[in-house]
Amino acid sequence: MPVPNDTFKPCSIVHFSPLPASLKPVGLLWLAVVLFPACQSDKSPSADPFQSYYQNWAHYLGDPGRSHYTTLDEITPENVHELEVAWTYAAPDSGQMQMNPIIANGMLYGVTAGLRAFALDAATGEEVWRFGDPGHIWHSTSRGISYWEDGADKRVLYTSGAYLYALNALDGRLISSFGDNGRVDLHTGLPAVAKDKFIVSNTPGTIFDNLIIMPTRVGEGAGAAPGDIRAFDVRTGALIWTFHTIPHPGEPGYDTWSDPDTYLNEGIPGGANNWAGMALDPDLGIVYIPTGSASPDFYGGHRLGDNLYADCLLALNARTGAYLWHYQFVHHDLWDRDPPAPPNLIKVTHKGKPVDAVAQITKQGFVFVFDRRTGEPLFDIEEVPVPPSRLEGEQASPTQPVPVKPRPFARQAADISVDNISPYAPNPEELQATLRQLDNRRYAPPAIGPVLLLPGYDGGAEWGGAGTDPEKGILYVNANEMPWILQMEPAKSETPVSPGAQLYLSYCAACHQKDRQGLPQSGYPALTGIANRLTRGETAALITNGKGMMPGFPQLEEAQKDAILDFLYDVADQKEPTDDVAATAPLPYRHTGYTKFLDAQGLPAIAPPWGTLHAIDLNTGEYHWSIPLGDTDSLKAAGHPPTGCENYGGPVITANGLLFIAATKDGYFRAFNRHTGALLWSTRLPAAAFATPATYEVEGRQYIAVACGGEKLGTPKGNVVVGFALPQ
């Protein structure tokens, strides 16, 4: 919805210059500039600009500050146990539905697993309209839509493939005056090197006035597009502003890349994109943007330096894209440790005074808290010495930032010893032997030898994000404690292989394994016998467009795609390697694959908890409570206490004392007392809900809705959106 901007005043530019490695102090990180207020507002910190949002759910995660918070109060801690299914909606396609519903005009808006936008009657779940070509289903993921209105002009904006669409919110029809007959190519405004490269958007754009500021997902290997932040006109689709996350000459941060022509390179590096979404303070006119890691992941020999603005929280003028301040969470990222979720705008009391703050959760299990206007950290942050790299050509940063408070909400690799092996493992001695071989030092860099990655590749915190009580300064975050193994190998094979096998090793083996057996327990399917499941054409489309969280590879030449298909379909008469077909490995090392550290039963090798939920007081940096989240059915049946389990999707927080969350692999929807962590209600869903719920009111009745798509983590597929309410 348009946001009043009369309170916005010009901002002074504040640049947090990164210190050279030789000058980074151990202890409190002193910033390289004197801080001045970046923006001024006539409103005091005690005036909450989001109050009007807490009675509806017309924005992603509830409000522009991404609080996941509501003041609706029909459902209470006393009656929550009476919740029942009020309606269900069966989507036309099944699989991961990560979407957080949006409610406006008496309708609930969402996106199916096949990237079809839809609108339901929010009181009954009956479909009002659906948009999407039934003959062309995109196999990707979407976390929802953006909603904008100005009088009678009401619009839904959502993405499918590489396009941003504008639809009439009342009937789902394309708005032909937007972009090219209703859509804008997300390559618009990117440099020439990004032409035809993989780019999608999994997360809804952020609406500010008549702009939509777009997050994008790009590839994570060599050849990725750059992750420039761009704002488009909601009415016309015109590009309004661009911020270069890989700086161009003369821009701040340009000197943090070793190669002066980095911004011109063919995707080495690329990335530094905002894939997780962003938060907006409409009163200050500032958008807060967490950025992804630079590509390629895991080896940074071609992108030496601190790599601004990768792995940062960026504060930009929402109207112009002008830089205000930044903080970098990981220098020269080698672990894919980019922030996984939008930050939370929250009000805290700091040194006896109210402060408008912004808090960012991370995959490492950290919470960084800053003054929203200046970027000044509210708790000390230490630059901690970390191990050097042992890979030729690589130079890991000598230090990494670690907040002193709050303490991590997930265990760290360095916390794990042979005494922490799972008590439920049937093969403890074998696991202890494996653990002794793993490098579990803090920020141990990728190496030929195996590294213990805990929290794992996905976190720690993940894309579901944290919820808050935005007025009392309490943050609620769920986390994974799944251990993974990170390992590299030389990219050049000692044994001659066919061009298809060579390309497969370069682009596919990290997820689907060298032997094509995949890692089904980790969500990476086997590719053996693919001819029995998919036609060659269907597989070719997946290689180009991607599926779910698998990126597409549109940059591959047709001859290269054909070679991969020959390999996957066991075509015997493959050609000998040639310059136009064979993969010319641009990197000296490659990632060996996404491997979980599991016991012989397929359960995490370390002792529980394997999934957790926390309440953290950001006024003090102390914890109110921490509990396991979720359970393991086999161990529960044997009478063991809750273990927690992997979880993806965030909570809903109510002012009257509830925390709702689905997210867990075990497929339950739960309500907790948010003050104590006590479980008040739970119900098993028709499929696991790896999504954040939404709560809203229609004609005085409060509902809470959640998308149940399953599929992730090897769970059964589903296609149902469920609305719960109290009995009438």
Q: Which tens digit of pLDDT belongs to each residue from 94-108?
A: 999 999 999 999 999
Confidence of residue 501 (pLDDT cuts 50, 70, 90): confident
Please give the average per-residue pLDDT across 247-257, as a whole number: 91
Q: 16 or 179, which is more confident? A: 179
Of 667, 715, 698, nearest in space to 72 by CA: 698
- The residue among 624 and 561 whose pLDDT is bigger is 624
Q: How confident is the model at residue 26 (pLDDT cuts 50, 70, 90)?
A: very low
- pLDDT score of 341: 98
CA distances from residue 542 to 137, 527, 538 in whole angstroms, order as listed: 11, 12, 6
Q: Residue 538 sits in a domain of what CATH number?
A: 1.10.760.10
The pLDDT tens digits of the residues spanning 407-437 come to 999 999 999 999 999 999 999 999 999 999 9
3-class DSSP assignment, residue 173: coil
Regarding predicted confidence, which is higher, 300 or 547? 300
Question: Phi and psi (nearest 5°) for 659?
Answer: -130, 115
Query: What number is the average pLDDT over the span 297-316?
Result: 96
Q: How confident is the model at residue 273 (pLDDT cuts 50, 70, 90)?
A: very high
Residue 560 lies in a domain: yes
The pLDDT-based confidence of 518 (bands split at 50, 70, 90) is: confident
Q: What percent of the chain has pLDDT over 90?
A: 73
Q: Is the pLDDT of residue 598 over 70?
A: yes
- Tell whether the model's pLDDT for residue 47 goes beyond 70: no
Q: Given this model, what pLDDT does residue 555 score? A: 62
> CA dihedral defined by 706, 711, 715, 718, rounded to 10 degrees?
50
Edge-to-edge order in the sheet of strand 451-453: 451-453, 484-486, 595-596
Q: How does DSSP classify residue 632?
A: -
| 370-384 average pLDDT score | 98
The position carrying tokens 């004392």 is 657
Percent of the chain with pLDDT over 70: 85
Let me know if residue 540 belongs to a domain.
yes
585 pLDDT higher than 90? no
Helix (H) or strand (E) holding 537: helix 536-545
Residue 31 has pLDDT above 60, yes or no: no
Q: Give yes or no for residue 11 having a pLDDT over 60.
A: no
656: Cβ–Cβ under 8 A, 6 or more apart, which residues?
73, 76, 77
Mean pLDDT lowest among 66-75, 78-87, 141-150, 494-503:
494-503
3-state secondary structure string across 299-357: CCCCCCCCCCCCCEEEEEECCCCCEEEEEECCCCCCCCCCCCCCCEEEEEEECCEEEEE
pLDDT of 579 > 60? The answer is no
pTM: 0.88
Q: Is 648 helix (H, G, I), strand (E, B) or coil?
A: coil
Place of tokens 């191990």: 387
Angle at 659 between CA 653 and CA 664, to 5 degrees: 115
Instruction: Flag whether 565 is in a domain.
Output: yes
3-class DSSP state of 459: coil
Residue pair 102/56 in contact by the 8 Å Cβ criterion: no
Residue 1 pLDDT > 70, yes or no?
no
**More confident: 434 or 516:** 434
Whole domain around residue 503: which residue ranges? 493-584
Q: Which has the minimum average pLDDT: 302-311, 323-332, 339-348, 492-501?
A: 492-501
Distance between CA 335 and CA 142 in Å, rounded? Answer: 24
Domain count, the chain: 1
**Strand order across the 146-150 sheet:** 146-150, 153-160, 163-168, 183-185
Q: For residues 515 and 519, what is the distance between their CA atoms, to the nearest angstrom? A: 11
pLDDT for 557 equals 66
Helix (H) or strand (E) holding 200: strand 199-200
Give 561 or 465, the one with higher predicted confidence: 465
Q: Return the pLDDT at 550.
A: 67
> Cα angle at 571 between 566 and 577, to 5 degrees?
60
For range 606-620, the mean pLDDT: 98
Q: What is the mean pLDDT of the chain?
A: 88
pLDDT score of 13: 29
Q: In what order do the strands lie in the sheet with 229-233?
A: 206-208, 211-214, 229-233, 239-243
In a domain, 60, yes or no: no
Position 265 scores a pLDDT of 64
Q: Looking at the predicted structure, is the pLDDT value of residue 137 above 50?
A: yes
Beta-carbon count within 10 A of 655 CB: 16
- 578 located within any domain: yes
In this prediction, residue 681 carries a pLDDT of 98
- Answer whether residue 508 is part of any domain: yes
In a domain, 519, yes or no: yes
Mean pLDDT, range 291-305, rounded to an integer: 95
Asked whether residue 235 carries a pLDDT value surpassing 70, the answer given is: yes
Q: What is the mean pLDDT of residues 168-193?
A: 96
Q: Which of 51-55, 89-93, 510-514 has the highest mean pLDDT?
A: 89-93
| pLDDT over 60 (residue 255) | yes
Residue 518 covered by a domain = yes
